[in-house]
Amino acid sequence: MELAPPSDPSEKVTIRGPQNQLVVALQTVYDKANSIHVQTLDISHFHKADQPLEHAKNILKYLWNRNKLKKIENDTGIQVIVPKGSTLEKAVVLEFVGKISKEVENSQKDVEKHVENARKEVSETVRGLVSVIYFKYKSFAF
Kindly list the domain boundaries of the chain, sorted by start residue.
1-35, 37-139
Residue 135 has pLDDT above 80, yes or no: no
Tens-place pLDDT, residues 79-89:
999 988 888 88
Please tell me which of 4-8, 45-49, 71-75 the model is most confident about, judged by mean pLDDT: 71-75
Upper half-sphere CA count for residue 98 (Cβ side, 13 Å):
21
State the first-to-last Cα distance of the chain, in angstroms, to the nearest integer. 78
Which CATH number is 37-139's, of 3.30.390, 1.20.120, 3.30.1370, 3.40.50?
Answer: 3.30.1370
pTM of the model: 0.68
The amino acid occupying position 93 is V
Percent of the chain with pLDDT over 90: 30
User: How many whole angstroms separate alpha carbon 117 and alpha carbon 122?
Assistant: 9
